[in-house]
Amino acid sequence: MSADSICTIDIIELLVNDFFTYIHPLCPFPHEQSFREAFRKREDYTNRPFLALLASMIGALVASFPRKPRQHLKARGKDHMFPNAMSLVNRCQQVCTAARGAGYLEREDLNVYDAATSYFLGLIGAYTFRWRQMRLYFSEALSIIRGLRSHVSAEEQSYAQLASMSSASGPNGLSHDGLRNGPPDYITQELSRRIFWTVFVGLRYASGCHSLVQ
């Protein structure tokens, strides 16, 4: 599996740029420089969690701005690949699920980027009016952050046992090379806190929209 499982790589590159243009200012994660470097190295060939994150990001973009991907596909004569935006969203979800695999929460190298993947899957649910999917994935994102304690600073790590549970990696963590003992670095803490507050605000907004629909 690779990014080519979603779409051709030229379209993927355009969608990644669109993500950091339109979605990232509202959901400021993952760490852009690290992600772009990992994508430039095509880690999607060897790094399943990175591929899952990439697929979830593109799925969230397409669900949020369905016309933009259609314009890219049409401009390159590839609009026949996906008859509508939801077909591309579904492809992204399928690739993300396959890349994560069964038992992904039990991985020893689970980190803050896995929480970001869960958030984007929840965002897809929100934009496609699948409220149960939204709630489940948003809750999962928060559970990963709390379980890793990746939002807690070094000063707040009271016990060595809790510190050793923090396995989220920082700007170079997309390689997922294993556990890292000690408190999380600053970038990991910041990403975790951004995910938490984005989920918090998103749930408040989605709850209001859901009540209006009902």
Amino acid symbol at 46:
T
Residue 53: predicted pLDDT: 97
What digits encode the pLDDT tens for the residues 124-148? Answer: 999 999 999 999 999 999 999 988 8
Residue 151 banded pLDDT, cuts 50, 70, 90: low
Higher pLDDT residue, 83 or 204? Answer: 83
- Mean of all residue pLDDT scores within the chain: 84
Does the CA dihedral 72-77-78-80 come out positive or negative? positive
Phi-psi region of 191 (alpha: psi -120 to 50; beta: other; left: phi over 0): alpha
Residue 168, number of CB atoms within 10 A of its CB: 26
H/E segment holding residue 23: none
Which of these, 122, 95, 115, 123, lies nearest to 169 by C-alpha position?
Answer: 115
CB–CB of 128/86 below 8 Å? yes
What digits encode the pLDDT tens for the residues 103-130? Answer: 999 999 999 999 999 999 999 999 999 9
Give residues with Cβ within 8 angstroms of 37, minimum separation 6. Answer: none
Omega before 184 within 30 of 0, i.e. cis: no
Angstrom distance (rounded) from CA 146 to CA 144: 6
Angstrom distance (rounded) from CA 116 to CA 110: 11
Residue 182: predicted pLDDT: 55
* Integer-rounded Cα radius of gyration of the chain: 17
213 pLDDT above the threshold of 50: no
Residue 116: predicted pLDDT: 96
Residues 30-48 have a mean pLDDT of: 95
What digits encode the pLDDT tens for the residues 13-36? Answer: 999 999 999 999 999 999 999 999
**Helix, strand or coil for residue 48?**
helix
Which of these, 3, 16, 20, 14, lies nearest to 72 by C-alpha position?
Answer: 14
Take residue 70 and report the two structure tokens written for it. Answer: 């259609």
The total number of structural domains that make up the chain: 1
Which structural domain, as residue segments, surrounds residue 186? 3-213
